[in-house]
């Protein structure tokens, strides 16, 4: 029956880890990550859950004759913010899967 104690202990550890992971995910959602393009002319802020919260465009970059450039800058700033969000998520959530070699997990 000695194995049952180990199994119960392992289950308690897993429940603890699940709580910590849920807390970390909640905290990630509160993070604000900034992506920029055009030397700061366009800034996009996303949450840790990749929700776009703000888009800021400096007035001097707005050229009615070149809307495509503005679209490219917004796209680049958004992609920059999402990339940074992914890195933050991997750094934060990766601590829970270190050494486990679980495919598809952070």
Say if 23 falls within a structural domain. no
Query: Per residue in 3-24, pLDDT tens?
Result: 667 888 888 888 888 898 889 8
Say if 104 falls within a structural domain. no
Question: How many domains in the chain?
Answer: 1
Task: Write out the two tokens for 3.
Answer: 């194995």
Say if 35 falls within a structural domain. yes
Say if 17 falls within a structural domain. no
Say if 105 falls within a structural domain. no
Say if 55 falls within a structural domain. yes
Residue 81's domain comprises: 29-98
Looking up residue 41, the CATH number of its domain turns out to be 3.30.1310.10
Query: Per residue in 27-57, pLDDT tens?
Result: 888 999 999 999 999 999 999 999 999 999 9
d(Cα 87, Cα 39) in Å, to the nearest integer? 21
């Amino acid at each position: 029956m000695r194995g049952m104690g180990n199994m119960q202990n392992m289950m308690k550890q897993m429940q603890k880890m699940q709580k910590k992971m849920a807390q970390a995910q909640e905290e990630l959602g509160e993070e604000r990550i900034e992506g920029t393009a055009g030397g700061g002319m366009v800034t996009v802020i996303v949450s840790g859950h990749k929700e776009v919260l703000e888009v800021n465009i400096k007035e001097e970059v707005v050229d009615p004759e070149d809307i495509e450039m503005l679209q490219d800058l917004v796209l680049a700033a958004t992609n920059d913010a999402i990339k940074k969000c992914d890195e933050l998520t991997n750094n934060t959530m990766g601590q829970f899967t270190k050494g486990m070699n679980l495919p598809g997990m952070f």
